[in-house]
Chain A
């Protein structure tokens, strides 16, 4: 059974860089997309972006200038970096596995079938 576990600092200072890691256990990295989603307090879920196992990425345009998602397949983890954080980046951060599917013969992402339990990150001085 595949499990995902987020790790990283719970507190980050404004203007600094947030760095989170998601450890993948019990399954393969290949043929999946690996995604980050967050939920600010009192707000809905916000998709941050994903990385395909081949290394291609797709980011939410609202965060694209500050976000990088990377994949370390041999070590079975993927990471999120958010630069120049503000209080608006305070949220519960989730990592998720996204299935690949064929759409008219073209591979694309499907729904997130496995999620981590989330990690709370607070941006405050």
Chain B
């Protein structure tokens, strides 16, 4: 199975800062098959990015997905207070689907 490694484990940042989250795959993943999710305690996970760089219509454009091959990135431009959460990457191109362990973005 494809192992996704997210780094760093935790980031401490201030509102207004730009943050870059990394997701590295153990083998090449087609860009069509990478998603990013935001998860807050007690809430349903929220889809931010699919197809590596595509945003659902209700997701603000400060969330930017990019990457190819084995290296994928989620950038949050200008952190808002509601963006402090856990972020997961996922690949759904190869069975079994797999998730990274997550990066926690916390308030500094």
Contacts and interface: CB of A to CB of B under 8 A. Distances in A.
Interface of A: 4, 37, 44-47, 58, 60-62, 94, 96, 98-99, 103, 109-118
Interface residues of B, number: 23
Contacts of B32: 103
A111 B50 contact: yes
Interface in B83-107: 88, 90, 92, 95-102
Contact of A113 (B56, B99, B101): B56
B12 interface: no
Given A103-B32, A109-B92, A113-B56, A44 B44 contact: no
A58 B102 contact: no
Contacts of B100: 44
Nearest to B50: A111
Interface in B13-61: 32, 35, 37, 42-47, 50-51, 56
B47 A116 contact: no
Contacts of A116: 44
B99 A44 contact: yes
Nearest to A33: B92
Given A47-B96, A114-B47, 16 more contacts: A4-B44, A37-B99, A44-B88, A44-B100, A44-B101, A60-B97, A62-B96, A109-B92, A110-B50, A111-B35, A111-B51, A112-B35, A112-B37, A115-B44, A116-B44, A118-B44
